[in-house]
């Protein structure tokens, strides 16, 4: 071993020691106290590592690689770049969700959880050496262009994603507001790649949207779990109730293509629909809990609120783009039979990522635990399986509206030369039929969810009368 290799080995060892984390912060998907960080780190340092220990030959191989790159690579590479890339490669080899956050990536993470950031509006995860779209975010360039959850990005501006790191690919999709980026996408069922030319925007995520669906049924759409989401949702429900004489017959909570967000916010959302005094200690009143290698990675949250809907029926819509915090909400309310889950099986991202600061501008996002629903179900790689499977079908419009028969049986007032009854009743029937048909054309899953919610409401009424 030459003297240069020895010196480089010493420098690398010193650098690796110097980046040991000193504290844990509140993070995107978990919350561990700062005071527990030192204990976690000490235990990690003293716990026996799995696999073979690092030998002198392994250290020589690492330091010799640095020497060869510096001596023979076609371009001059600085020591800091090599060290950053070494850390990035080490972390990216762990799992798809662990990540080394440099200054720009760390800043973007903080902006994303607060609800505003730049880009085209997609949540991605690495798979098969390319990027799988977890979900396009509502009202963003990606969603407006027709990009779908489950699509695969194979190239950005003509450069193959397989030749870039996750961070490089994401950075390449970001840019100045008004600038354009070309995405080459593979979609299941299509034989040729799809090309999408998107204009970048500053993404403002309105995490909660609401509307009435008729007959006092409310619709709540949560697109991402950010810091203010639970409060916004609660206020939105109260506003809908106020507009309907203080009463809602039921609600549909739409979590489709919601990639997740803050764990604490997901817990708060669930707590708005559970009456802790009526749970009778079922599942120990748990909303979610985690299990990890270290005691500090153990986390649990319990219900302590009351049901803002006073027991009115709920339907939750999910699909393959519903991930992480969305799955926590759906899983908890499914376990307590508080809501009926409708749609398609969710993404299956049930791991906890903790952001650990390295210094003021760099951090590690590490997978530290796995989520469990209150009954103990594991979400990771399984997802939440809906109670009622409804695929995302499309009812095609045609001039004769022959597809009405697919949705509901033909009514008397629709027959040619039918006898007139009350003019008001005919008008009301026509309006209701038109609204339902329009909803089926626009969003078949939502249309079906509304029919299920109406049935649940009627069954509740029958149960109350019996």
Active-site residues: which are they?
324, 335, 349
**β 180-186/152-156 pair status:** antiparallel
CB hemisphere CA count around 425 (13 angstroms): 7
**Which 3-state string (H, E, C) describes 283-340?**
HHHEEEEEEECCHHHCEEEECCCCCCCCCCCEEEEECCCCCCHHHHHHHHHHHCCCCE
Distances (CA, A) of 278 to 269, 270, 300, 305, 335: 18, 15, 20, 11, 15
Place of tokens 């980046």: 19
Contact 362, 106 (CB under 8 A): yes
Q: Measure the CA–CA gap between 389 and 373, rounded to whole angstroms.
A: 20
Distance of CA 147 to the CA centre of its chain: 16
Distance of CA 206 to the CA centre of its chain: 15
Biggest CA pair distance of the chain: 102
Distance of CA 269 to the CA centre of its chain: 14
Q: How far apart are the first and last CA of the chain?
A: 87
61 is written with which tokens? 């191989």
Q: Measure the CA–CA gap between 262 and 394, rounded to whole angstroms.
A: 33
Q: Measure the CA–CA gap between 266 and 279, rounded to whole angstroms.
A: 19
Which stretches does DSSP call E strand in 163-296? 180-186, 194-199, 201-204, 208-212, 217-222, 250-254, 286-292
Q: Measure the CA–CA gap between 131 and 166, rounded to whole angstroms.
A: 8
**Which 3-state string (H, E, C) describes 152-184?**
EEEEECCEEHHHCCHHHHHHHHCCCCCCEEEEE
Place of tokens 């009143």: 285
For residue 63, the surrounding DSSP H or E stretch is helix 56-72
């Amino acid at each position: 071993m030459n003297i240069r290799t020895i010196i480089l080995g010493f420098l690398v060892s010193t650098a690796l020691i110097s980046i040991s984390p000193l504290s844990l912060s509140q993070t995107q998907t978990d919350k561990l106290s700062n005071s527990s960080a030192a204990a976690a780190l000490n235990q990690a340092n003293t716990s026996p590592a799995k696999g073979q220990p690092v030998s002198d030959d392994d250290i020589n191989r690492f330091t010799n690689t640095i020497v060869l790159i510096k001596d023979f690579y076609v371009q001059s590479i600085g020591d800091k770049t090599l060290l950053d890339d070494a850390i990035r490669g080490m972390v990216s080899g762990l799992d798809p969700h662990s990540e080394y956050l440099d200054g720009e990536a760390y800043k973007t993470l903080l902006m994303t959880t607060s609800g505003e950031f730049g880009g085209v509006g997609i949540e991605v995860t690495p798979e098969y050496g390319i990027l799988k779209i977890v979900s396009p975010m509502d009202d963003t360039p990606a969603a407006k262009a027709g990009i779908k959850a489950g699509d695969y990005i194979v190239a950005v501006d003509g450069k193959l994603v397989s030749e870039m790191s996750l961070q490089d690919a994401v950075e390449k999709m970001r840019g100045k507001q008004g600038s354009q980026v070309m995405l080459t996408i593979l979609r299941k069922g299509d034989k040729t790649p799809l090309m999408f030319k998107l204009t970048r925007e500053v993404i403002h995520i309105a995490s909660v949207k609401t509307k009435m669906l008729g007959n006092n049924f409310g619709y709540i759409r949560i697109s991402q779990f950010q810091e203010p989401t639970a409060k916004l949702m609660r206020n939105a429900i109260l506003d809908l109730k106020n507009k309907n004489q203080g009463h809602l017959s039921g609600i549909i909570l739409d979590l489709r293509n919601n990639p997740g967000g803050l764990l604490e916010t997901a817990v708060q959302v669930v707590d708005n629909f559970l009456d802790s005094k009526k749970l009778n200690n079922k599942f120990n009143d748990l909303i979610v809990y985690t299990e990890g290698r270290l005691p500090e990675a153990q986390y649990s949250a319990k219900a302590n609120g009351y049901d803002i809907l006073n027991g009115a029926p709920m339907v939750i819509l999910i699909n393959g783009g519903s991930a992480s915090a969305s799955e926590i909400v759906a899983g908890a309310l499914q376990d307590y039979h508080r809501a009926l889950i409708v749609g398609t099986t969710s993404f299956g991202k049930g791991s906890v990522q903790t952001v650990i600061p390295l210094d003021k501008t760099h951090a590690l996002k590490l997978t530290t635990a796995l989520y469990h629903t209150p009954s103990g179900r594991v979400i990771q790689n399984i997802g939440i399986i809906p109670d009622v499977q409804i695929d995302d079908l499309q009812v095609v419009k045609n001039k004769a509206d022959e597809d009405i028969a697919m949705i509901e049986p033909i009514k008397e007032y629709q027959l040619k030369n039918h006898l007139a009854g009350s003019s008001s009743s005919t008008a009301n029937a026509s309006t209701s039929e038109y609204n339902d048909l329009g909803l089926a054309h626009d969003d078949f899953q939502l249309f079906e969810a509304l029919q299920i919610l109406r049935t649940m409401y009627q069954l509740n009424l029958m149960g109350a009368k019996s």
